[in-house]
Amino acid sequence: MLDKKMFFIGLFFTLIFTFVLFNFLIDLSELINVLSNVNIFYVLVSLGFYLLSLYFRSKRWVYLLKDQITNSSRSVLPVVIFGYMANNLIPVRIGEFLRSYYLAIRENISTSFVFGTIIIERLMDVIALIIFFSIGALVGSFFNSSDFDDFSNTIPGGKISIIFLSLFPFIFLAVIIIIYNKLSNDKIKHVLDKLLFFTSNKIKFSISNKLIMLLEGVTTILKRNTFIYTLLFSIIIWACEAIMYYIISLGLRLDTFFDSGLEHISIIIVFTSVVNLAGIIPSTAGSWGPFDFFGSITLITLGVSNEVAVAYSLLVHLALWLPPTLLGFVIIILDQKTIKKVIQNFKSRKINYVE
Q: Using CA atoms, how far apart are residues 190 and 211, in angstroms rounded to an integer?
A: 13
Q: Give the model's pLDDT for residue 353.
A: 38
Q: Give the model's pLDDT for residue 349.
A: 61
Residues 6+ apart with CB under 8 A from 119: none
Confidence of residue 173 (pLDDT cuts 50, 70, 90): low
* Of 266 and 216, more confident: 266
Residue-wise burial string across 281-294, b where 16 or more C-beta atoms lie within 10 A, e elsewhere = bbbbbbbbbbbbbb
Average pLDDT over residues 85-93: 86
Q: Using CA atoms, how far apart are residues 30 and 309, in angstroms rounded to an integer?
A: 12
Residue type for position 2: L
Q: Give the model's pLDDT for residue 352.
A: 45
SS3 76: coil
Averaged pLDDT of the chain: 81
Most distant CA atoms of the chain, gap in Å? 62
Q: Using CA atoms, how far apart are residues 159 and 142, in angstroms rounded to an integer?
A: 9
Q: Give the model's pLDDT for residue 108.
A: 85
Q: Using CA atoms, how far apart are residues 192 and 202, in angstroms rounded to an integer?
A: 13
Residues 6+ apart with CB under 8 A from 270: 132, 133, 136, 137, 140, 298, 302
Q: Is the pLDDT of residue 282 over 90?
A: no
Q: Is the pLDDT of residue 155 over 60?
A: no
How far, in whole angstroms, is CA 117 from its chain's centroid?
15
Confidence of residue 171 (pLDDT cuts 50, 70, 90): low
Average pLDDT over residues 178-207: 67
What would the pLDDT profile of 330-352 be if each residue is shown by its tens digit? 999 998 888 888 888 777 765 44
Average pLDDT over residues 112-137: 86
* Of 266 and 147, more confident: 266
